[in-house]
Structure 1
Amino acid sequence: MSSRPKSIDFHAHFSDPVVFAKTVPHNVMSGFGAKVPPPDAPRIARQLDPQLQVADMDERGIDMHVISSSQVIVGTWWAQAKEADELVRRQNDRAAEWVARYPQRFVGAFDLPLQNMDLALRELERATDQLELKVANLPAGWGKDYLGDARFHPLLAELERRDVLCFIHPDGTKDPWYQAYGMWNSIGQSIEEVKVMTSIIYNGIFEIHPALRIVVAHGGGFLPHNMARLDRNVTNLPHSMANISRKPSEYLRNFYYDTCVYDADVLAALVKSVGVDRLVMGGDYPVGNDPLEFLRGADFLSAKEREAVVVGNAAVLLGF
Structure 2
Amino acid sequence: MTAQRIRVASGVIDVHAHWLPEELYGLPPGSPLPPMRARNGELYLGDLPLSITPGSLSDPKEILADGDRAGIGVRVLSPPPFAFPIGGGAEADDYIRTFNAKLAQVVREGDGRFLGLGLVRLDDAGAARACMRELAALDGIVGFAVPPIIGGRSYDAGTPRELLRGAAECDLAVLVHPMQLPRPEWSGHYLPNLLGNPVETATAIASVVLGGVVDELPDLRICFVHGGGCAPGLLGRWDHGWRHRRDVRAATAKPPSEGFRSLYVDTLTHDPDALRLLIAKAHPDRLVCGSDYPFDMADRDPVRFATGNGLDPAVLEANARAFIGLGAAH
User: Do they superpose with TM above 0.5?
Assistant: yes
Could you tell me which of 270, 281, 303 is aligned with 1:292? Answer: 303
Classify 1:268/1:148 alpha carbon distance in 2 versus 1 (closer, same or farther; 3 Å). Answer: same
Moved more, 157-166 or 240-249: 157-166
TM-score (norm 2): 0.86
Classify 1:315/1:238 alpha carbon distance in 2 versus 1 (closer, same or farther; 3 Å). Answer: same
Equivalent residue for 2:166? 158
Instruction: Give the partner amino acid of 1:295.
Output: A
User: Which secondary structure does the structure 1 equivalent of 2:141 belong to?
Assistant: coil
User: Which secondary structure does the structure 1 equivalent of 2:107 belong to?
Assistant: helix
Note if contact 1:204-1:243 (Cα within 8 Å) is conserved in structure 2: yes
Classify 1:265/1:131 alpha carbon distance in 2 versus 1 (closer, same or farther; 3 Å). Answer: same
User: Which secondary structure does the structure 2 equivalent of 1:146 belong to?
Assistant: coil
Instruction: Give the partner amino acid of 1:75.
Output: F
Aligned-pair distance for 1:74?
Answer: 1.9
Equivalent residue for 2:83? 74
Note if contact 1:28-1:184 (Cα within 8 Å) is conserved in structure 2: no
Aligned-pair distance for 1:45?
Answer: 4.6
The whole-number CA distance in structure 2 between the counterparts of 1:130 and 1:66 is 14
Aligned-pair distance for 1:26?
Answer: 3.6
Equivalent residue for 2:247? 239
Note if contact 1:13-1:69 (Cα within 8 Å) is conserved in structure 2: yes
Could you tell me which of 253, 270, 282 is aligned with 1:262? Answer: 270
Aligned-pair distance for 1:257?
Answer: 0.5
Could you tell me which runs of 5 or more consecutive residues in structure 1 were left unpaired when the two chains were aligned: none
Classify 1:228/1:64 alpha carbon distance in 2 versus 1 (closer, same or farther; 3 Å). Answer: same
Identical columns (%): 25
Aligned-pair distance for 1:306?
Answer: 3.9
Note if contact 1:282-1:291 (Cα within 8 Å) is conserved in structure 2: yes
The whole-number CA distance in structure 1 between the counterparts of 2:275 and 2:182 is 28
Could you tell me which of 73, 76, 80 is aligned with 1:63? Answer: 73
- 1:21 partnered with 2:6: no
Could you tell me which runs of 5 or more consecutive residues in structure 2 were left unpaired when the two chains were aligned: 1-5, 37-43
Note if contact 1:13-1:67 (Cα within 8 Å) is conserved in structure 2: yes
Aligned-pair distance for 1:162?
Answer: 2.1
Q: How many residues align?
A: 310
Q: CA RMSD in A?
A: 2.3
User: Which secondary structure does the structure 2 equivalent of 1:12 belong to?
Assistant: strand
Instruction: Give the partner amino acid of 2:74.
Output: M
The whole-number CA distance in structure 2 between the counterparts of 1:176 and 1:93 is 38
Residues 228-283 of structure 1: CA deviation (Å, up to 9, x unaligned): 11111234322211110021111011101001111111111110111332100001
